Amino acid sequence: MTLRPEPPHRHGEDERVGLLLVNLGTPTEPTPAALRRYLAEFLSDPRVVEIPRILWLPILYGIVLSARPAKSAAKYATIWTPEGSPLAVWSDRQAVGLSQALQARGHRVQVRVAMRYGEPSVARGLDALRAEGATRVLVLPLYPQYAGATTGSVADAVMKWTAGARRIPEFRFVNEYHDDAGYVGALAERVRTHWREHGQGEKLLLSFHGVPHRTLLLGDPYCCQCHKTARLLRERLELTPEQVVVTFQSRFGNAKWLEPYTEPTLRQLAADGVRRVDVMCPGFVSDCLETLEEINEEARHTFLACGGERFEYIPCLNDQGAWIEALASIAERHMAGWETRALPDAQETAQRRQRAAALGATI
């Protein structure tokens, strides 16, 4: 095995800390070709589709990747912005905001953004941090609730990168922050802001991304963490249990997934006479296809077509100030004990190296 080149080791050089902010990923453009590349990588991950490879890969390459790219490209086209994919745009802004927030708190941390699928890849982000001299790296996935298919897959990508590294950084991973006070507080602030501007609906529906039900039986904490986030948010907003509905979206395939499903629930609410529903997706911290198209377009259409009168979509946290500060606090806690304070200036660093050389230190 050939190891990747590393930055030259220099005796006496300060230890540096890097932070890799990881989101799910996005195609590079809303075209069938780009979607085929993206979906091939995404759906071939054994963490995402837990079906034996010998059974799944012929289905993926023979059926799914023949029909789905064009349909998905058409959906992406409805949400694409002049800056590109919303998920990529918001992830970049979150990385910039986090870097600035940490700097304002007196930390010197190099922040890079990466995508689990697509570009910039996890490997590319780690290469960049090592090239910048990072010897300690905090991996912070933008998934508040832990799932093997999301956070677990990020860890897989990091470990794969280490196989070709000569000097492996000291790693720390943020596995979950579903009950973090700053995260829940930012969600509550987002809801209150929306209500101040648009009034309050009869029901607040919290739609989380779905996963197969069997993952709960196999030990995945995702379902419980989603419900805890919802409960903490409800309590922060001082709502009754009857005012809040928790659902799961994005079901794929014929297997049973976490229930209740979002669209059937909206149909039932409309049938029960609920005139207005406010919908939020707490598990997504960046607006993306699943929130802007699946919820704000498809789910909206379902509710209104079934007799509902008003559907209010509450945006994701995106680059909201309270969320960026929450991210910074999460990062601070997980970097505790690492030297992240401002490095000595160039003159002091040079003097220290000179002293080391005078004492006969070798590289």
Provide the annotated binding site for Fe(2+): 209, 290
| Phi then psi dihedrals of residue 317, to 5 deg | -65, -35
Question: Residue 25 and residue 116: Cα distance in Å, rounded?
Answer: 6
How many angstroms separate the Cα of 1 from the Cα of each of 4, 14, 88, 163, 362? 10, 30, 33, 9, 29
175 CA to centre of own chain: 11
> Taking a C-beta distance cutoff of 8 angstroms, is the pair 223, 257 a contact?
no
- Neighbouring CB atoms inside 10 A of 19's CB total 29
| Residues in binding site | 209, 290
- Please give the Cα distance from 131 to 5 (Å, whole number): 9
Question: Cβ contacts of residue 349 below 8 Å, gap of 6+?
Answer: 13, 14, 343
Residue 137, strand partner residues: 18, 171
